[in-house]
Amino acid sequence: MQHEFTIQVSPEIASNPEQLKQMISSKNSIPIDEIRYVEIVKRSIDARQKAIKVNLKLKVYVQEDFIGQPIELPDYPEVTNAPEIIIIGAGPAGLFAALRCIELGCKPIVLERGKDVRTRRRDLKAINRDHIVNEDSNYCFGEGGAGTYSDGKLYTRSKKRGDVHRILELLVGFGATDQILVEAHPHIGTNKLPEIISTIREKIIERGGEVHFETRVVDFEIKNSEVKGVTLLDGSTIATNKVIIATGHSARDIFELLYQKKIVIEAKPFALGVRVEHSQQLIDQIQYSCTTRGPYLPPSPYSIVKQVRGRGMYSFCMCPGGVIAPCATNPGEVVTNGWSPSKRDQSTANSGIVVELKLEDFKAFEEYGPLSAMYFQKSIEQKAWEVGGKSQRVPAQRLVDLVEGKLSNDLPNTSYKPGLTSVDMGQVFPEFIHRTLQSGFKQFDQRMKGYLTNEAVVHAPESRTSSPVRIPRDWKTLQHVQIKGLYPCGEGAGYAGGIISAAIDGEKCAEACAATII
């Protein structure tokens, strides 16, 4: 017989199956020798009180054996000779679109400007060590897309739990730990993601799909408002009338191309700010109300949202035990973001702290029409490059100095490898962002006492939080509002934000596209 319980226990009991069993036995008057197995179905940490608790949803097997069901991948059919769908971009949206195409009996042909996940590492080394930005292979471009070398956080604001669960199960099927199905805030980690991504690619190819690396799409052939083909950087063309465009939030050349071709796109508000780094120990102390984190607790994350000077200011993509990375996609700009290994065991914690932007903020760039938000974003990244020393050295400031408007006399080493240049953030940001950050950090300290410390360092800018452009699509057919056969997909099109929602959107676009063929 199976019983379901929801309980709250100490972190120690939560991590010890025997103690957990004993507790369930005594609290529910079930003889201990009748409990054959305790399965943790869901786990979350409640750190609101001084005594930290773990919420567990359990399935208890009483006089019944537990037969674990391995997660099985769908039965992907052979699609070598099936109708073809072109997918531009091998990020989560493109890869999950490709898998879904196969499931539905279509042949995906994935065109990716970057390199395969293993070769891509060399270019990451080059940007970190030699400040060389390869515009096709970097932290945003290449197999697996922008999230490959990330924290691999897998939570999303999507309310469609069924869709989220399906993507998580697929990730487990492709090699992720099944704990991502249990944790309330699952993550995978930079060291584990590449293997999962290459397993997905191998499956696509094994079933007859194609994946082409170092294959940048530079043009679309459009006739009578219908897509007829795509042109590649080498000048060759592929004739097709089905294109899923999943090129991500950083594909500025694609946004420019669509604009030049008079294909409807829209400026989209996004958020922008800094990436702040504290010691993980300090974040643990604040969040867990302790001097040293106990052995049964993970490095603590945090999440904070405030209304400051009429705008939202909030933490974004927080990486416990993580590292700040140089995420520029073009020479002449500086961009930050963060990643963590699966154990989140680095001594530092970083988070984007960003300010909500509104369409009227891009007024100075209105000559660029729907690209105004993108040009605003680009101008700040270029400014950071200039004042940082015209390299991947990042403009940085101690946190209290930022709030007090003082240039930092010195800077401690941080996890950002290419190096720091001491800069007053007023030199990087327009005044309204600078002032909002200054006021907002004071408010953050009221919520998280000790957060505002001069041992913390801000790095600027955190600017690729979401796409500055939307490629609008019909809500029903998911085709572009003007161009038949073109399916704007994922984060770059403005329909996702994060790995999971991009993957969900990839599946949706594949379904809509396949429905017109099969």
Ligand X SMILES: Cc1cc2nc3c(=O)[nH]c(=O)nc-3n(C[C@H](O)[C@H](O)[C@H](O)COP(=O)(O)OP(=O)(O)OC[C@H]3O[C@@H](n4cnc5c(N)ncnc54)[C@H](O)[C@@H]3O)c2cc1C
Which of 498, 509, 512, 513 touches ligand X (CB under 6 A)? Answer: 498
Q: Is there binding between residue 496 and ligand X (CB under 6 A)?
A: yes
Closest contact distance (angstroms) between CB of 317 and ligand X is: 5
Site string for ligand X, 188-227 (x = CB under 6 A): ----------------------------xx----------
- Of 82-101, binders to ligand X (CB under 6 A) are 88-94
Q: Is there binding between residue 381 and ligand X (CB under 6 A)?
A: no
When the beta carbons of 11 and 326 are compared against ligand X, the nearer one is 326
Q: How far apart are CA 295 and CA 291, in angstroms?
A: 13
Which span sits near ligand X by CB under 6 A: 8-16, 54-62, 356-364, 498-506? 498-506
When the beta carbons of 209 and 492 are compared against ligand X, the nearer one is 492
Closest contact distance (angstroms) between CB of 507 and ligand X is: 12
Give 69: exposed, middle or buried? Use CB within 10 Å, 0-12, 13-18, 19+: exposed
Token pair of 517, please?
């063929």
Tell me the C-alpha to C-alpha distance, in Å, between residue 181 and each of 46, 89, 168, 471. Answer: 18, 27, 7, 32
Q: Is there binding between residue 123 and ligand X (CB under 6 A)?
A: no
Closest CA to 355 of 451, 437, 427: 437
Q: In angstroms, how far is the first alpha carbon of the chain from the final one?
A: 45
When the beta carbons of 244 and 437 are compared against ligand X, the nearer one is 244
Q: Is there binding between residue 141 and ligand X (CB under 6 A)?
A: yes
Q: How far apart are CA 282 and CA 404, in angstroms?
A: 21
Q: Is there binding between residue 146 and ligand X (CB under 6 A)?
A: yes
Strands 84-88 and 107-111: parallel
Q: Is there binding between residue 301 and ligand X (CB under 6 A)?
A: no
When the beta carbons of 141 and 314 are compared against ligand X, the nearer one is 141
Strand partners, 45: 54
DSSP letter, residue 390: S
Q: Is there binding between residue 114 and ligand X (CB under 6 A)?
A: yes
Which span sits near ligand X by CB under 6 A: 35-43, 288-296, 414-422, 493-501? 493-501
Report the run of H or E that residue 514 belongs to, with start and end: helix 499-515
When the beta carbons of 136 and 401 are compared against ligand X, the nearer one is 136
Q: Is there binding between residue 111 and ligand X (CB under 6 A)?
A: yes
∠ CA 317-364-361 to the nearest 5 degrees?
40
- Most distant CA atoms of the chain, gap in Å: 75
When the beta carbons of 248 and 370 are compared against ligand X, the nearer one is 248
Closest contact distance (angstroms) between CB of 53 and ligand X is: 26
- Number of Cβ atoms within 10 Å of the Cβ of 227: 23
DSSP-derived 3-state class of residue 130? helix
Tell me the C-alpha to C-alpha distance, in Å, between residue 256 and each of 38, 263, 291. Answer: 55, 10, 52
Which span sits near ligand X by CB under 6 A: 41-49, 172-180, 242-250, 507-515? 242-250
Q: How far apart are CA 18 and CA 179, in angstroms?
A: 19
When the beta carbons of 333 and 401 are compared against ligand X, the nearer one is 333
- Cis bond before residue 461 (omega within 30° of 0): yes
- Of 328-357, binders to ligand X (CB under 6 A) are 337, 339
Q: Is there binding between residue 139 and ligand X (CB under 6 A)?
A: yes
Closest contact distance (angstroms) between CB of 255 and ligand X is: 10
Which of 502, 509, 510, 514 touches ligand X (CB under 6 A)? Answer: 502
Which of 113, 131, 242, 311 touches ligand X (CB under 6 A)? Answer: 113
Site string for ligand X, 147-176 (x = CB under 6 A): x-xxxxx-----------------------
Q: In 212-310, which residue ranges form alpha helices assigned H by DSSP?
A: 252-260, 280-288
When the beta carbons of 113 and 207 are compared against ligand X, the nearer one is 113
Closest contact distance (angstroms) between CB of 164 and ligand X is: 11
Q: How far apart are CA 109 and CA 511, in angstroms?
A: 15
- Number of Cβ atoms within 10 Å of the Cβ of 320: 25
Closest contact distance (angstroms) between CB of 426 and ligand X is: 26
Q: Is there binding between residue 418 and ligand X (CB under 6 A)?
A: no
Residues 6+ apart with CB under 8 A from 116: 142, 143, 198, 201, 213
Which of 325, 349, 425, 471 touches ligand X (CB under 6 A)? Answer: 325
When the beta carbons of 252 and 434 are compared against ligand X, the nearer one is 252
Reported for 411-416, long-range contacts at CB under 8 A and 24+ positions apart, including other chains, are 411/457, 412/455, 412/457, 414/277, 414/324, 414/348, 414/457, 414/459, 415/277, 415/322, 415/323, 415/324, 415/346, 415/348, 415/350, 416/277, 416/323, 416/324, 416/325, 416/326, 416/336, 416/459
Q: Is there binding between residue 284 and ligand X (CB under 6 A)?
A: no
Q: Is there binding between residue 244 and ligand X (CB under 6 A)?
A: no
Contact residues for ligand X, defined by CB under 6 A: 88-94, 111-114, 139-142, 145-147, 149-153, 216-217, 246-249, 251, 254, 317, 325, 327, 337, 339, 490-492, 496-499, 502
